[in-house]
Amino acid sequence: MTTFLQRLYLGLVGLFLSLPLIVVAGVSVNEKQTLAFPPQGFSLSWYGEIFANPEWRNALLASITLAAVSAALALAIALPLAWFLWRRHAPWANIFQLLGIAPFTLPPVITALGLLTFWATTGFYGQPWTAAISHAIFFVTLPLVTLSLGFSSIDRSLVEAAATMGADDRTIFRTVVLPLILPYLVSGYAFAFVLSLNEYIVAYMTVGFTMETLPIKIFNALRYGYTPTMASVTILFVAIAALIFGLVARFGDLPKLLGAMANTDKQ
């Protein structure tokens, strides 16, 4: 009886989380351009539309480019910082850890507005590359957190062994540290990539009038009424996120990444 109630509760939460997506998935296969559920007819043409219609295709390409570049930049900021904090004893340097986490903790509109005033003042407002830097700063928290976790899980005696055998910092980093933190590096990149792909407000405030990312495109389209392409894009994005997080879970330890203890005590 209690197991039944427990399952029922989990099931209800699951239903709440999936219901909007089920309806959107249904809407996305409508044959005609109607907002109807259950769908009338069946057609996958609205998925083709994402790639066939130049507006949607360009928005998708812009989003993917932005996500790939900004996640790489976020990693380039986070990796040396996390390494330094792990390798050196310099308490004052923790201020940079704090700075890396702040943009993500504050309401996003604040970071967005800060960057908007900054780009407007420096005269670069609207340049596509400003969005990449803005996203990198906004999402640097994610690789920073996963990498800090990765470094703290390294057994220091391994590093010591390499050092006694004469390896310098560079060699140790390449041959010992890097292979050990690789899963954390990849998951940090994955988190930053997926979130950048979905980010709206920072992108909108920095390059909203010159470049259309997919979330901006959906919002603009939403104002002029409904097209089923919005639904197919939504499902595409859910699928991309699920695929990427599924891969992270497959090749890494997701419970541990999300702060649970190492799972030696569970099957």
Partner 1 sequence: MRREAPQRLADYGPLLFPAGMLIVFFVIPFATMIAVSFFQRDPAGFYSTAFVFDNYARFLSLFFGKVLGFSLFLAVTVAICCVVIAVPFTYLLSRARRRTQVLWLVALLSVLSLSEVIIGFAWSTLFSRTAGITNLLVAIGLMSEPVALNPSFGAVLTAMVYQALPYTVLVLYPALVRLDPTLTEAARTLGASPVKSFFTVVVPALRNTIVATLIMVFIFALGSYLLPQILGRPQHWTLSVLITDQAIYQSNMPFAAAMAVFLVLVTLGLVGLTLIATRKGEAA
In the bound complex, what is the minimum distance in angstroms from residue 154's beta carbon to partner 1? 10
Query: Which position among 31, 72, 114, 128 is part of the footprint of partner 1 (CB under 8 A)?
Result: 114
CB distance 200 to 220 below 8 Å: no
11 binds partner 1 (CB under 8 A): no
Residue 260, helix vs strand vs coil: coil
What's the chain's Rg over C-alpha atoms?
22
What 8-state DSSP symbol labels residue 106? S
8 binds partner 1 (CB under 8 A): no
Task: Tell which residue, 102, 255, 136, 101, has the closest CA to residue 206.
Answer: 136
Residue number, 48 or 255, with CB nearest to partner 1: 255
107 binds partner 1 (CB under 8 A): yes
In the bound complex, what is the minimum distance in angstroms from residue 48's beta carbon to partner 1? 20
Distance CA 213, CA 207 (A): 9
Number of Cβ within 10 Å of residue 236's Cβ equals 17
CB distance 221 to 230 below 8 Å: yes
What 8-state DSSP symbol labels residue 40? S
In the bound complex, what is the minimum distance in angstroms from residue 79's beta carbon to partner 1? 8
Query: Which position among 59, 66, 133, 181 is part of the footprint of partner 1 (CB under 8 A)?
Result: 133
CB distance 28 to 228 below 8 Å: yes
134 binds partner 1 (CB under 8 A): yes
Task: Tell which residue, 29, 22, 63, has the closest CA to residue 46.
Answer: 29
Query: Which position among 27, 66, 69, 71 is part of the footprint of partner 1 (CB under 8 A)?
Result: 27
68 binds partner 1 (CB under 8 A): no
Distance CA 7, CA 148 (A): 36
- Among the residue ranges 44-52, 54-62, 178-186, 242-250, the one whose residues contact partner 1 (CB under 8 A): 242-250
CB distance 141 to 101 below 8 Å: yes
Q: Under rule CB under 8 A, which residues in 147-186 are in contact with partner 1?
A: 156, 159-160, 163
Query: Which position among 145, 201, 202, 207 is part of the footprint of partner 1 (CB under 8 A)?
Result: 201
In the bound complex, what is the minimum distance in angstroms from residue 198's beta carbon to partner 1? 4
Residue where the block lists tokens 């940090």: 188
Query: Which position among 174, 175, 251, 255 is part of the footprint of partner 1 (CB under 8 A)?
Result: 255
Query: Which position among 29, 149, 195, 207 is part of the footprint of partner 1 (CB under 8 A)?
Result: 195
Residue number, 62 or 112, with CB nearest to partner 1: 112
Residue number, 44 or 243, with CB nearest to partner 1: 243
